[in-house]
Amino acid sequence: MPFHSAHQRNRLRQGLYLLLSLSLIVIPSLLVNIMASENSASAVPADFQLSLESASLMADPGFPTESLKLTADGNVEFSTKGTEKGMLPATSIQIDATAIREIYAQIQRQGFFTLQPDYVDPDVMDGDYAQLSITANGKSYTVRTTNIAVEAFDAIVHRVNRYMPPARNIYYNALHVKSYKRVQR
């Protein structure tokens, strides 16, 4: 539909300029808000702590409980660890903030604080256990798995192990024994 007057063309131009101006203000502000909400969702609380341990259910002095403790500042403390070549001494390392954020994001994705506190397959008589204790936002929670693969739990352990030296990864049977009973949560 053709415009017959200069006045109509000017009003259309003004409307387009107003729309363009608003989009230059609104769109960046929406993007900033979206990015801020994503960062706050995965922001690691200052009180974040993670403790992961695993041990045989049958006492074995050559392979004692192995553990690691991780804090929000990236400090990781490892216990002694039995290997086929002998004992590794207790030690500590520092991991970067990106690794901490990814570990914490995995904890949130897997709904750690909503998992059952204890998972056991009563049909397996010996074997081992894994235990994960996490503190975040003033809340502490512990989950223990014994001779059973709990996919949400194991996904967190895999994420933690990804950022640790391979010799210091925490392993337990449910991570690699395919015949173990499996549950999602």
Residues 25 and 97 in one domain: no
Cα dihedral: 14, 16, 19, 21 (round 10) = -70
In sequence order, which residues have a C-beta less than 8 Å from that of residue 74 and are 6 or more positions away?
Answer: 94, 95, 96, 97, 99, 100
Q: Kindly report, residue by residue over 167-182, the tens digit of the pLDDT.
A: 999 999 999 999 999 9
Residue span of the structural domain in which 74 resides: 49-183
Place of tokens 């109509």: 8
What percentage of residues in the chain have a pLDDT greater than 90?
Answer: 70
Q: Kindly report, residue by residue over 125-144, the tens digit of the pLDDT.
A: 889 999 999 999 999 999 99
CATH of the domain at 86: 3.30.1560.10
Q: Work out the pLDDT band at 123, boundaries 50, 70, 90.
A: very high
Q: Work out the pLDDT band at 64, boundaries 50, 70, 90.
A: confident
Q: What is the sign of the dihedral through the CA atoms of 127, 178, 155 and 118?
A: negative
As for how many domains the chain has, the answer is 2
**CA 92 to chain CA mean position, Å:** 20
Residues 174 and 83 in one domain: yes
Record the pTM: 0.77
Residues 73 and 157 in one domain: yes
Kindly state the greatest CA–CA separation across the chain: 95
Residue-level pLDDT at 164: 98
Residues 32 and 70 in one domain: no
Number of H helices, E strands in the chain: 3, 11
